[in-house]
Amino acid sequence: MIGAGVAGLAAADELRRRGFGVAIYEARDRIGGRILTHLDARFPMPLELGAEFIHGEAPLTERLLREARLSDYDLDGESWIAERGHFRRAEGFWDEVDRVFDAIDARRKDLSFDDFLAQSPGGKSLARARAAARTFVQGFHAADPAELSTLALAPRNAGEPSEEAARVGRVVEGYDRLAAWLARDLEDDLHLSTPVREIAWEPGRAELALEDGSRIAARAAVVTVPLGVLQAPPEEPGGLRFRPDPPKLRRTLDLLAMGPVLRLVLGFREFPWSDRRDLDRLRFLQTADETFRVWWTAYPLRVPVLVAWSGGPPAGAMSSRSPKEIEAAALRALSQQTGLSRQRIASRLEGVWSHDWSADPFSRGAYSYARVGGSEAAKALARPVEKTLFFAGEAADEEGRTGTVEGAIGTGLRAAKQVRRALG
C-alpha cells in the first residue's frame, strides 16, 4: 500500500479484516494525507487545514464514524453576501446553479465549462445564474472553467450541485480521528517518513524501491498517492516512477487535473461584526473579491473561527506569494467587502493557520477534476492493471465524488475488493 491517506487506510483496514497481509508506506511523517487537523488551546474545536466537510449523504463516512464512536453534525445557519460594506441575505443561489447544470446535455460532445457557458444556455433569464455557476466550479471544484469537462458535471454523473454542496457536516472531534481509527491495528505495518520512489512490476509481482535504497516485494500494490504525485516527473521530490508505465496510464492522467486552493483559518477573540445581531447565524459569506470569494464560520458552534477560501485560477494566481502576503490579501478582502476597518479586524485576530497543498511535494494540489474529454477518466484509473496494480484516492472515484473524503474512502474499499478478487 502506497500512501496513508484515508483511501490507503480504508483499503488496508478492509484487507486486514479479510485476512490479507498488508504494509503501508507513507512519505509524510503522519497519516491522513490531505486531512490535516490542528488543535489550539484557545479554540474549543479542531481547526481543519485540509479536508473539513462531510458532503452530501456520505454513507461510507457515516458508517465509519459510527464504528469509530466519533460524532458529526450538520451545519446550520444562514448564507449572506457582502459587497463593499453592504450585507444582504443570499437567496436562491443553489436554485440558480442547478438550473445551469440542468441545461447540460450529456448526449452532446464534451466542452469546457467556459465554452458551454459561452453558448448562453437558458438565454438572458439565466445570465446571473451562469456567472454564479462559473464561480461555483472554481470554488467548489477548484477547477479552471477553461479546461473543466462539462460532461463530468452533468447531473447524471455527479448529481445536482446543491445535493453535495448544500448539505454539509463536520466531524466533532476532527477528521484526523477518523484516520487514526482506520490505522488502529496497523502498528509495525505502518511505515511513516518512507517515500516510495519506484514500483517495478510484472503480472503477479510488484517491487517497491524506497527512498533509502531498500526494496520490498509483494504480490500486488495499491497506489493511493494524490493525482498530483502521479502526474509529477519521477525525478522530482515526491515523484513516483513506474517500471514499466502501466498501459494507457499517462493518457488517463492527462485527462485529469489537480486544482489549486488557498485556505486560511482565521481565529478571533470575537468576530469583527459581533455587534450585528442579524449576523449571529452567519454560516457562509459570499463576496465580490476576485480571490477570496467564499468564507464560512463554525456555526452552529459559536466559536469565532472564519475560513477564507479561494479555488481554481484565482488561487493559482496567488500561489507564488508568501504566506504573509496571502494573509494580508485575505484580511484586506475581508475589510473591503464587509466595510469593517483593518484595525477592527486585526485587533480581534488571534491567529491564522494554513497549509500550502500545491507546494506540498506529496500532494501537489488540493483535489482533482476532469478535463475536457476526461469525464470517464476516473473510471479508467480505477481499473486494475494485470491484477497487480490497483489505484485508489479521490481522483479514482467512479461515482463522481472526487474531492471528498467519502470518495477517497469509497475508492479504498473498492480497491480492497479488487485485490481480494485478484489474489483470493
Give the CATH number of the domain where residue 404 resides: 3.50.50.60
Task: Let me know: does 237 contact 273? Beta carbons within 8 Å.
Answer: no
Q: Are residues 387 and 250 in the same domain?
A: yes
Place of cell 484516520: 179
In a domain, 341, yes or no: no
pLDDT reported for residue 92: 79
Give the other-Cβ count within 10 Å of 283's Cβ. 17
Q: Examine the domain organization and report whether 380 and 246 are in the same domain.
A: yes
Euclidean distance between CA atoms 81 and 163, whole angstroms: 21
Which helix or strand (DSSP H or E) is residue 306 part of?
strand 305-311
Strand-by-strand arrangement of the 168-171 sheet: 53-55, 168-171, 72-74
Mean pLDDT split into 10-residue runs, the chain, 424 residues: 98 96 97 98 96 94 98 94 93 84 91 96 91 93 97 70 71 98 96 98 97 96 98 95 95 97 98 95 95 96 97 94 96 97 97 96 97 97 98 96 96 98 91
Same domain, 158 and 180: no
390 contacts 415 by C-beta, under 8 angstroms: yes
Pair 139, 186 in one domain: no
Q: Which of 175, 181, 241, 239 is nearest to 207 (CA)?
A: 241
Q: Which residue range(s) make up the domain with 128? A: 92-162
The reply to whether 210 falls in a domain is yes
Neighbours of 216 (CB within 10 A): 16
The answer on 379 and 247 residing in a single domain is yes
Give helix 127-140 / helix 93-102 axis angle, nearest 10°.
90
12 and 155, same domain (yes or no): no
Q: What is the CA radius of gyration of the chain?
A: 22
Q: Is 249 contained in some domain?
A: yes
What's the pLDDT at 97? 87
Look at residue 167 and give its three-state secondary structure: coil
3-state secondary structure of 302: coil
Both 252 and 372 in a single domain? yes
Model pLDDT, residue 96: 84
Number of structural domains, the chain? 2
Count CB neighbours of 187 within 10 A. 7
Other CB atoms closer than 10 Å to residue 366's CB: what's the count? Answer: 25
What the block records as the C-alpha cell of 394 is 479521490
